[in-house]
Amino acid sequence: MTKPLEGLLVVALEQAVAAPYCSSRLADAGARVIKIERADGDFARKYDHVVQGESAYFVWLNRGKESLVLDIKQDDDKALLRRILSKADVFIQNLSPGAAERAGFGSDVLRDQFPRLITCDVSGYGEDGEYRDMRAYDLLVQAETGLASITGTPESPGRVGVSVCDIAAGMSAYQAILEALLERGVTGKGKGLAVSLFDGMADWMTVPLLHYDYGGKAPGRVGLRHPSIAPYTGFQTKDGDTIVISIQNEREWRRLTEQVLNQPGWAAEGPYKNAASRVANRDRLEDEIGRVFSALTTTELRKKLTEAKIAFGQVNGVAELSTHPALRRILVETQTGPVEMPAPPVKTKGQEPSLGPVPGIGEHSQAIRREFAGDGA
């Protein structure tokens, strides 16, 4: 079955997470993605060896790509890359600041030479300003954007357990490239895009920032609590499991008080009668709910919450995710055999996802060199 981006050629001079996330989604959608690697490969290949000897990050983010080993400091390889770019639709790069420009592959120069080309530069802190040359990795940007200050327990800040700054930048780049492709279909012209890890996470930090700028105070670190809604936190069951409940409106609160807590009067009067009073009396309220929940087994509590139509979730570990009934998986071929990983999050009705294999270092070098040998541009 035809995929929406079939026929498009994407060149990705990339490493690590943010840019590979973007290009992997383009590959999933049918684009041909040529990944440019050094002789020793994208350093994400060596992050770990947990997936049958391969890196979990690399297997996740490089399916469906072709690997071409180039040294862009060498004239012959630079000429080959330029020939490929003359046929390309999209060029993505996330080298260290200024490296692409010094090698002769700056986005402005490329678009002058190839007006239909869409370029996307992925950086840590943007293309100008005093932070331009700062090295940027995910945890560092979590710290710089204030994300770590609102994550964790009241006692200490914490890191979000996945690379959210990289992923936010990669998602934003993917969205922007799709928009640029649509625009090029009208104007016939490419455009230059720039995405930074900092900007991607700053966008996700909008609500805490608005609380600070306009309310005078940023949300504090509250663990599993919600900073402005109560009850919205985790409670232990008799079995020792943790169940998080979320009460978003007064209808839900009334059902919880009547059908689970056996305190119907709390929804009409007293210190918990409305959202503001529940937040103001949060500690006392959570103690009262905790006593009820801790007397019930996990099975009993889940049944009661389900019947009362209360939003809840169990605090699972990765082991529970691995066997979760909602987890959809897909097989992806790698150099060391097939790997099961989560399926793409968007489902297309009547169509099963089909993802390409994860390439070895330089697996496609000879074929690509033959394909683009002698093309003038």
Active site residue ranges: 226
282-289, long-range: CB < 8 A, 24+ apart: 282/225, 282/230, 282/231, 285/230, 285/231, 286/230, 286/231, 286/233, 286/235, 288/261, 288/263, 289/231, 289/235, 289/245, 289/261
Q: Which residues pair with 236 in a beta bridge?
A: 242
Selection from 203, 19, 218 nearest residue 122 by Cα:
19
Question: How many other β-carbons are positioned within 10 Å of the β-carbon of residue 375?
Answer: 13
- What tokens does 352 get? 């099963």
Buried/exposed code over 59-71 (b: 16+ C-beta within 10 A; e: otherwise): bbbbbbbbbbbbe
**Sequence-separated contacts (24+) of 314-319 with Cβ below 8 Å:** 314/241, 314/242, 314/243, 314/244, 315/224, 315/234, 315/241, 315/242, 315/243, 315/244
